[in-house]
Amino acid sequence: NDPHSCRGRVFPPLVPGANDDLGEDGAVLAFAIVEYMRRFLSRKFGMPELQEPEALLQWLHTDDLAGEVADDLPTWAYAIPHIDAANRPSYAVSAILYLSTGGGLDFEGGRLLFHGDEADSAIVPREGRLMAFTSGVENPHSIERVTAGERFALSVWFKDSD
């Protein structure tokens, strides 16, 4: 099972055929956002040429906890601590652009958790916030289950040219 394949509430917006689901304007917008993120993060991380992005539009909803969706999708694999580069060794930078706000505004739960040796740290999603971090062993992370409402995000993984 490829976690980047198109299933249910997870959709890869940069693949051929994305126009069919997003419409031409939506597909162009998704590409433009990812390209802007690539250039911005290349500068911020001092990696001159981040490239070959892979992306997922994600919709996490309380309905994902029961019934057919939970049975058919690996949606809650995100809740298990993981390292992105362990899944794809070529990943250099991981990024999440939040399209909705947590803390009870649009949804409850759904925080990004970074797991440290001594303690975990939590990031509450805010619409328009871009979170980016290196994809290696230094950043084990997970996403809390959404307990109410709907969490929308664009997740992108970039490869380094080196």
Active site residues: 151
* 3-class SS of residue 75: helix
Burial 95-105 (b: 16+ CB within 10 A, else e): bbbbbbbbeee
CA distances 3 to 87, 113, 141, Å, are 9, 19, 16
Q: To which residue do tokens 């794809």 refer?
A: 88
Q: Which run of H or E residues covers position 31?
A: helix 18-44
DSSP 3-state assignment of 70?
A: helix
Among all chains, which residue has been given the structure tokens 């250099």?
A: 92
